[in-house]
């Protein structure tokens, strides 16, 4: 081979991104092999922890910020104020770093120090509010974030639960990616529902492009409003609600499958053990729903399940045997191994 045929002597092209935030999206699909044994359809996972901030929320952060800039709501030197302790905060902080904005995140005191430190590492300021006060109390999570927005000069609140750019980001990125990656062969899309942005935006795109052929299936923690509950507490994080957010389009999902905490966490652990995917508890929940769905499908079906984030943020919970045992998700004697156990 020579230069002309593009062989090894070709002049090197230096490939790089201008900034880490330019690498949001275009996450890969990977086949689930072990968990799907005995099932007929091809089941693929969309691995969102490979986004640069580590979750699907990088997508909405980028689009919400750029839309606010275009609308003049966020101006140079402005401050982003959002009540969030998790993935949305990381996405916002990463994009803010690139664009020179400040970030102030408000979170309840039950949020772990590790999570707060991640946000601080990106340069955000974190205001901690007491959990044990009613919503109308001046120190409540809601009131503090509203007050900061009013009082900080140049403040802008993305409000992921009501911002139409949340579902729009999925309509313009996640949906088209899935259609292209599957060559239009996707028949079912499964996602957990939190704000509802992922399922509403991705689902709407897939329905439109397939003339309604793609079935959209939500996964929801048992007890949450989306599967007919009242918001009864559950332990899986990032999904389920006790109210109906504006970002959730009630007309998109063909079906909602409720999943128990026990099933969510068992499948989460199996994803790491059997598939090499260290992911968060809402991923196990979505996969548990996808497996239930796949039981009634055929070889002609292609199911894609979206995995929102990675498992490192859950090492003291889902991946901790003592924590799992304390909730009855593992037998009490299962924590730890002695040298004798492994010899
Ligand atoms: N899983 C995790 C870990 C999340 O943080 C979120 C976002 N709240 C979801 C699932 C649900 O995504 P969405 O808000 O788009 O419904």
Q: Is the Cβ atom of 197 under 6 angstroms away from ligand 1? A: yes
Ligand 1 centre to CA of 9 (Å) is 47
Burial 153-170 (b: 16+ CB within 10 A, else e): eebbbbbbbebbbbbbbb
pLDDT for 342 equals 84
pLDDT for 6 equals 56
pLDDT for 340 equals 83
ipTM: 0.98
Active site residue 57: yes
One-character DSSP codes across 107-143: EETTS-HHHHHHHHHTT-EEEEE-SSS-TTSTTSHHH
Distance of CA 153 to the CA centre of its chain: 31
pLDDT for 30 equals 98
Q: Is the Cβ atom of 54 under 6 angstroms away from ligand 1? A: no
* Alpha-carbon distance values, 309 to 58, 95, 102, 180 (Å): 10, 18, 24, 22
Name, in order, each residue with C-beta under 8 angstroms of 213's C-beta and a sequence gap of 6 or more: 187
pLDDT for 333 equals 65
**What is this structure's pTM?**
0.93
Ligand 1 centre to CA of 190 (Å) is 13
pLDDT for 140 equals 85
Q: Is the Cβ atom of 167 under 6 angstroms away from ligand 1? A: no
Structure tokens at 151: 């009082």
pLDDT for 1 equals 42
Residue nearest to atom 6 of ligand 1 (CA): 238
pLDDT for 2 equals 47
Q: Is the Cβ atom of 51 under 6 angstroms away from ligand 1? A: no
Q: Is the Cβ atom of 87 under 6 angstroms away from ligand 1? A: yes
- Per-block average pLDDT, block size 10, for the chain (343 residues)? 57 92 97 98 98 98 98 97 91 96 91 89 94 84 91 97 97 98 98 97 98 98 92 87 93 98 98 98 98 98 98 95 95 74 83
Ligand 1 centre to CA of 202 (Å) is 13
């Amino acid at each position: 081979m020579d230069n002309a045929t593009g062989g090894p002597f070709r002049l090197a092209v230096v490939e790089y991104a201008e900034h880490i935030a330019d690498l949001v999206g275009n996450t890969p699909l990977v086949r689930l092999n072990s968990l799907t044994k005995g099932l007929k359809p091809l089941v693929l996972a969309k691995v969102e922890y490979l986004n640069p901030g580590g979750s699907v929320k990088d997508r909405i952060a980028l689009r919400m910020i750029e839309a606010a800039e275009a609308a003049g709501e966020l101006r140079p030197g402005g401050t982003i104020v959002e009540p969030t302790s998790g993935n949305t905060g990381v996405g916002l902080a990463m994009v803010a770093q690139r664009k020179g904005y400040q970030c102030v995140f408000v979170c309840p005191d039950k949020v772990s120090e590790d999570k707060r430190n991640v946000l601080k590492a990106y340069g955000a300021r974190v205001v901690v509010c007491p959990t044990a006060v009613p919503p109308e109390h001046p120190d409540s999570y809601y009131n503090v974030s509203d007050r900061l927005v009013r009082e900080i000069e140049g403040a802008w609140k993305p409000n992921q639960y009501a911002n139409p750019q949340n579902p729009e980001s999925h309509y313009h990125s996640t949906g088209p990616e899935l259609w292209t990656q599957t060559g239009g062969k996707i028949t079912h899309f499964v996602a957990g529902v939190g704000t509802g942005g992922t399922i509403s935006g991705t689902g709407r795109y897939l329905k439109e492009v397939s003339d309604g052929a793609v079935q959209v299936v939500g996964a929801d923690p048992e007890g949450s409003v989306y599967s007919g509950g009242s918001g009864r507490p559950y332990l899986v994080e990032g999904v389920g609600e006790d109210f109906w957010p504006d970002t959730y389009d009630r007309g998109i999902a063909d079906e909602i499958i409720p999943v128990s905490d026990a099933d969510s966490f068992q499948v989460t652990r199996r994803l790491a053990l059997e598939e090499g995917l260290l992911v968060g508890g809402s991923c196990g929940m979505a996969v548990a729903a996808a497996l239930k769905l796949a039981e009634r499908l055929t070889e002609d079906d292609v199911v894609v399940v979206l995995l929102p984030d990675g498992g490192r943020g859950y090492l003291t919970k889902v991946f901790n045997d003592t924590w799992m045992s304390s909730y009855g998700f593992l037998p009490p004697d299962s924590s730890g191994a002695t040298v004798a156990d492994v010899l």
